[in-house]
């Protein structure tokens, strides 16, 4: 059975690995979550043991949902009296996207209405709404006209561990704290006798989470005490920590009987399908492990903060969590951080960076200097506001990850050790020209930051001959999954013949030096090429023979790119919005990709739910690339055809019809296996042949990058309605080069 586990963006791959370790058969990372396969027991184990999950959602129904009536009807078909007891309480969380239903609260209300009406139709007492502690919490996901109704098995956010008695400003969520610790390798470091330090600990989240990990305490045990307090007839809370309340019924003998779940293991949901016997056994095992782990917990935790109120809050939280005896909290400025005698350990920190707590580059520099002085041989895992603030620490990151603290994009850097061995080579100062390029890169990325964060863009154009003397394009490619290595694709436009070769070489070196310095990438991750500008030509030229490729992500699809072996990378970044639009239109329809190149548009259409895809290209190399891209996303079979053929000849012979067609031809081609092709000369014949393969209400998207191209509007008007949509298909990172491509939308005249 497939179910869904949500998490903060950036934790997907960690979460997938964690779910497999917890017993799921397999788990596939997706945006802000993972799709594991397993039993209900596996899902309940994740509720109890996952340190990274936000929610665990067990699906009840999935159905087409084009409008609000379809939502109500689909929800009404479920036998809700079999999922919820008469007179119990209910809450519905809704997440909607698309044009049919745009208001999440309205969607949640319609689902609630359906549940209530099913109870009334059975002559039963209807459930009432309790948004804080419902007996059954439902989750509605409505995306691209498809609704999924699920039970929230945890009954609420799983990042809540139950110990937070007090908090300082902007507390870090516990599951994000766990990610910082796990990326830093904390479990292995503690097992080897290491210690944990947070020099700016705030309310103590990182240290407390680290102590509970070291104690092998299930995160869900603390939440259970809150469930017990909320239960009818529960006694008022005591000063004991939630781990103590959760373990009140631990039997002294390992042969004890399974506790009564109604008394000893309060369940997180009163959904009638919840397996209380399995849950009780899971809780009994977790209590036993926690009892042993807490008893063996070493005093290996050190927390400092300049704010006395923050330290008081941290001590109260640690007391509530039952780990106060292991953590030494001190009111201390980072400049006064003492040298720790422990030979090995992990320094963690979440320095301030949001609008409420002003980010200060100088503070980050002091933090880096303090760690280099106090724990030079330790590892550090630092959650910084962004790449610039991470750079301000002065620490050299061995690994970098992109995480999200709520809506804020953050940079997690791993330094191992904090102070690397000193090199004898003194880095060269950037020249004046290189500094100009670096400053322009900084301005460009600042302008693009909100757009990149909002749309999840990780591959983009950062610079495009913004300074005329440095006439190159710089594209950034971030590797998808795990450690996110950054690569640069630098394409130098051929200079005018009158520019001396010495000046060309100098400017090229300055531009590359500025890009490497700004993005902190080694030379081996920079692909440098020279290309003619504005002369058209084939997109498929061979360049080098390194055979190195990497996986990136765009519009929800994972894709292979190769920055070194070909003139182009395998992913035309300027077509990103057009591919997204076509993928949306192709859902449930037949998609045809002519001159498909590496098949990116086909893959994204398939990922979005296209009924079938057909990809046509003359190059066997690029069709194999397309096949690899499809396989990377788990897509294949007869519904996704790959056709090696001359496109014009194939169109003349083809008899099938398609709902959405994408045609992005090269400017010209002189392949020995086909007739010579020139887009200006052949475009009318090409478009007419493609329109003949379009269903009457279908759409054909035509694009090319020949700068001197002129559409024969009169000829095209005889067989198609035609609208130029170029401006709508140019993404923000290509606004400086608005003629990078032109695009048209064509339909049958009668449409």
* pLDDT of res. 169: 56
Q: Mean pLDDT across the stretch 565-575?
A: 91
Tens digits of residue pLDDT in 319-351: 999 999 999 999 999 999 999 988 899 999 999
* pLDDT of res. 408: 84
Q: How confident is the model at residue 26 (pLDDT cuts 50, 70, 90)?
A: very high
Cα separation, 196 vs 334, whole angstroms: 15
Q: How confident is the model at residue 484 (pLDDT cuts 50, 70, 90)?
A: low
Better pLDDT: 382 or 260 = 382
Residues 592 and 722 in one domain: yes
Over its C-alpha atoms, the chain yields an Rg (Å, rounded) of: 29
Tens digits of residue pLDDT in 488-519: 999 999 888 899 999 999 999 999 999 999 99
Q: How confident is the model at residue 658 (pLDDT cuts 50, 70, 90)?
A: very high
Residues 202 and 140 in one domain: no
Q: Which of 504, 531, 558 delimits the end of a domain?
A: 531
Residues 51 and 184 in one domain: no
Q: How confident is the model at residue 547 (pLDDT cuts 50, 70, 90)?
A: low
Residues 526 and 554 in one domain: no
Residues 389 and 510 in one domain: no
Q: Which of 122, 152, 182 delimits the end of a domain?
A: 152
Residue 532 has, within 13 A of its CA and on its CB side, a CA count of: 10
Residues 472 and 600 in one domain: no
Tens digits of residue pLDDT in 668-715: 665 555 567 889 999 999 999 999 999 999 999 999 999 899 999 999
Q: Report the length, in residues, of the chain.
A: 751
Instruction: With H, G, I as helix, E, B as strand and everything else as coil, classify residue 417.
Output: coil
Helix, strand, coil percentages, rounded to 5, for the chain: 35, 25, 40
Q: Is residue 422 part of a domain?
A: no
Specify the number of domains making up the chain.
Answer: 4
Residues 384 and 472 in one domain: no
CA dihedral 377, 379, 385, 386 (to 10 degrees): 90
pLDDT at 2 over 50: yes
Q: Is residue 53 part of a domain?
A: yes
- Which run of H or of E encompasses 243? helix 242-246
Q: Mean pLDDT across the stretch 106-123?
A: 96
Domain range holding 390?
A: 174-415
Residues 371 and 512 in one domain: no
Q: How confident is the model at residue 226 (pLDDT cuts 50, 70, 90)?
A: low
pLDDT at 539 over 90: no
Residues 668 and 736 in one domain: yes
pTM confidence score: 0.63
Residues 25 and 147 in one domain: yes
Q: Is residue 652 part of a domain?
A: yes
Q: Mean pLDDT across the stretch 721-736?
A: 95
* pLDDT of res. 421: 66
Strand extents, DSSP E, 84-219: 89-96, 128-129, 136-143, 146-152, 195-198
Which CATH number belongs to the domain containing residue 742 in this structure?
3.40.50.150
Q: Is residue 646 part of a domain?
A: yes
* pLDDT of res. 239: 36
* pLDDT of res. 419: 86
Tens digits of residue pLDDT in 594-646: 999 999 999 999 999 999 999 999 999 899 999 999 999 999 899 999 999 99
CB count, 10 Å around CB of 66? 14
Residues 68 and 207 in one domain: no
**Who contacts 170 (Cβ-Cβ below 8 Å, separation ≥6)?**
202, 352, 354, 356, 357
Highest mean pLDDT among 226-235, 361-370, 439-448: 439-448
According to the 3-state scheme, what is the secondary structure of 566-601?
ECCCCCCHHHHHHHHHHHHHCECCEEEEECCCCCHH
Q: Is residue 538 part of a domain?
A: no
* pLDDT of res. 425: 44
Peptide bond connecting 417 to the previous residue in cis, omega within 30 degrees of 0: yes
Q: Is residue 521 part of a domain?
A: yes
Cα separation, 16 vs 14, whole angstroms: 6
* pLDDT of res. 398: 87
Better pLDDT: 394 or 675 = 394
Distances (CA, A) of 134 to 57, 137, 515: 15, 6, 53
Tens digits of residue pLDDT in 232-287: 444 333 334 444 444 443 333 333 333 343 345 789 999 999 999 999 999 999 99
In this prediction, what percent of the chain has a pLDDT beyond 70? 88
Which CATH number belongs to the domain containing residue 120 in this structure?
3.30.2130.30
| 743: Cα separation from own chain's centroid | 30
Q: Which of 101, 122, 152 delimits the end of a domain?
A: 152
Average pLDDT, the chain: 88
CB 593 within 8 A of CB 602: yes
Q: Is residue 159 part of a domain?
A: no
* pLDDT of res. 354: 55
The b/e string for 734-748 (b: 16+ C-beta within 10 A; e otherwise) is: beeeeebbbbbbbbb
Residues 350 and 258 in one domain: yes
Q: Are β-strands 301-305 and 195-198 bridged in parallel, bridged antiparallel, or unpaired?
A: parallel
Tens digits of residue pLDDT in 82-92: 999 998 999 99
pLDDT at 166 over 80: no
Q: Is residue 425 part of a domain?
A: no
Query: With left for phi above 0 and alpha for psi between -120 and 50, is residue 381 left, alpha or beta?
Result: beta
* pLDDT of res. 531: 63
- Burial of 221: CB neighbours in 10 Å, binned 0-12, 13-18, 19+: buried
* pLDDT of res. 576: 97
């Amino acid at each position: 059975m497939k179910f869904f586990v949500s998490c903060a963006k950036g934790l997907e791959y960690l979460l997938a690995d964690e779910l497999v370790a917890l017993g799921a058969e397999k788990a596939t990372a997706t945006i802000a979550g993972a799709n594991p396969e397993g039993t209900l027991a596996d899902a309940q184990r994740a509720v109890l043991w996952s340190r990274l999950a936000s929610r665990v959602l067990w699906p009840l129904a999935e159905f087409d949902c084009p409008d609000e009536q379809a939502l109500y009807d689909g929800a009404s078909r479920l036998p809700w009296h079999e999922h919820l007891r008469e007179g119990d309480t209910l809450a519905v969380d809704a997440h909607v996207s698309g044009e049919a239903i745009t208001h999440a609260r309205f969607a949640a209300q319609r689902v609630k209405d359906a549940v209530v009406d099913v109870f009334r139709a059975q002559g039963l007492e209807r459930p009432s709404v309790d948004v804080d502690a419902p007996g059954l919490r439902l989750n509605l996901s409505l995306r691209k006209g498809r609704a999924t109704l699920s039970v929230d098995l945890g009954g609420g956010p799983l990042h809540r561990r139950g110990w937070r008695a007090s908090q300082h400003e902007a507390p870090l969520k516990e599951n994000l704290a766990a990610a910082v610790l796990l990326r830093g390798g904390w479990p292995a470091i503690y097992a080897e006798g290491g210690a944990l330090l947070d020099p700016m600990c705030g309310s103590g989240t990182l240290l407390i989470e680290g102590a509970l990990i070291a104690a092998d305490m299930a995160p869900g045990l603390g939440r259970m005490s809150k469930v017990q307090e909320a239960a009818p007839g529960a006694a008022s809370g005591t000063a004991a920590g939630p781990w103590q309340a959760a373990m009140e019924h631990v039997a002294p003998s390992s042969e004890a009987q399974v506790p009564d779940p109604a008394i000893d293991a309060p369940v997180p949901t009163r959904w009638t399908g919840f397996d209380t016997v399995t849950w009780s056994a899971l809780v009994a095992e977790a209590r036993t492990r926690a009892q042993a782990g807490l008893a063996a917990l070493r005093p290996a935790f050190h927390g400092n903060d300049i704010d006395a109120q923050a330290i008081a809050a941290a001590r109260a939280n640690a007391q509530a969590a039952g780990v106060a005896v292991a953590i030494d909290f001190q009111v201390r400025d980072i400049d006064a951080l003492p040298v720790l005698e422990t030979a090995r350990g992990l320094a963690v920190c979440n320095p301030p960076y949001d609008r409420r707590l002003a980010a200060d580059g100088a503070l980050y520099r002091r933090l880096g200097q303090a760690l280099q002085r106090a724990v030079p041989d330790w590892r550090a895992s630092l959650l910084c506001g962004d790449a610039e603030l991470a750079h301000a620490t002065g620490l050299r990151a061995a690994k970098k990850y992109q995480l999200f603290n709520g809506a804020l994009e953050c940079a997690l850097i791993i330094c191992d050790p904090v102070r690397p061995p000193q090199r004898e080579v003194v880095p060269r100062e950037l020249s004046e020209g290189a500094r100009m390029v670096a400053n322009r890169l900084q301005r460009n990325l600042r302008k693009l930051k909100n757009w990149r964060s909002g749309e999840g863009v990780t591959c983009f154009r950062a610079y495009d001959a913004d300074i005329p003397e440095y006439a190159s394009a710089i594209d950034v490619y971030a590797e998808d999954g795990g450690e996110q290595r950054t690569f640069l694709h630098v394409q130098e436009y051929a200079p005018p013949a009158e520019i001396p070769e010495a000046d060309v070489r100098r400017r090229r070196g300055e531009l590359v030096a500025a890009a490497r310095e700004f993005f902190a990438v080694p030379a081996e991750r920079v692909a440098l090429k020279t290309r003619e500008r504005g002369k058209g030509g084939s997109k498929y030229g061979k360049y080098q023979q390194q055979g190195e490729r990497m996986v990136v992500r765009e519009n929800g699809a994972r894709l292979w790119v190769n920055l070194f072996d070909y003139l182009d990378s395998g992913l035309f970044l300027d077509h990103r919005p057009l591919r997204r639009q076509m993928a949306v239109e192709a859902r449930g329809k037949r998609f045809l990709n002519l001159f498909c190149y590496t098949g990116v548009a086909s893959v994204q259409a398939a990922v979005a739910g296209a009924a079938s895809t057909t990809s046509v290209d003359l190059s066997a190399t690029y069709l194999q690339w397309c096949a690899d891209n499809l396989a990377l996303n788990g897509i294949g079979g007869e519904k996704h055809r790959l056709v090696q053929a001359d496109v014009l000849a194939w169109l003349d012979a083809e008899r099938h019809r398609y709902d959405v067609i994408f045609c992005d031809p090269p400017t010209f081609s002189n392949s020995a296996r086909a007739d010579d092709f020139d887009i200006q000369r052949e475009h009318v014949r090409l478009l007419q042949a493609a329109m003949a393969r379009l269903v009457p209400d279908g759409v054909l998207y035509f694009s090319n990058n020949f700068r001197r191209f002129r559409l024969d509007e009169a000829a095209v008007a005889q067989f198609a309605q035609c609208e130029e949509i170029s401006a709508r298909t140019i993404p923000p990172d290509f606004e400086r080069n608005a003629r990078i491509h032109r695009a048209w939308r064509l339909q049958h005249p009668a449409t």
